[in-house]
Every structure is written in structure tokens, then in C-alpha cells.
Amino acid sequence: MPLVLAPAGKINIVKRIGGTAEIRQFLETLGFIVGSAVTVISENNGNIIVSIKNSRIAIGKEIAQKIII
């Protein structure tokens, strides 16, 4: 399921990252790598705040749709 549908507070594992090569590279630099743990912290005005690799990152719903957990 896409990250955008994940419940807040639950630890999820990244299974696949879709999108163009540019988007995949961008997400990889943020720490979204297949096998990494990601937790949705909250959703705020169309942005999703996640915790990944001891960092908090805000990403848009369009990008979150491309991250499969």
C-alpha cells in the first residue's frame, strides 16, 4: 500500500519506490531506501510528516503515493 494510506504511529518497511528516476533519486537522498523503516507522524495540509533514519521529513501526498510499504 502507498505510504499516504499508512496509519500514524505505526512502523512500516519501504518495499518499493515508484516514479521517475529523478523522483527515486530524490527519495533515496532523503533516506527512503527499500528495506528502511518509516513511521508516519502526522498529516498536515496535504503534507505528510514522517520519521525515517532518526529524522523528520515533510513530503507531499503526490510523492508519498510513490512510496510503497
CATH of the domain at 52: 2.30.30.90
Backbone phi, then psi, for 55, in 5-degree steps?
-130, 150
pLDDT digits (tens, 9 = 90+) for 7-37: 999 999 999 999 999 999 999 999 999 999 9
Residue with cell 533516506: 31
pLDDT number for residue 24:
94
Domains identified in the chain, total number: 1
Beta bridge partners of 44: 47
Average pLDDT, the chain: 94
**For residues 50 and 13, what is the distance between their CA atoms, to the nearest angstrom?**
12
Beta bridge partners of 35: none
Q: What is the span of the domain harbouring residue 42? A: 3-68
Question: Structure pTM?
Answer: 0.88
C-alpha cell at 48: 505528510
pLDDT at 46 over 90: no
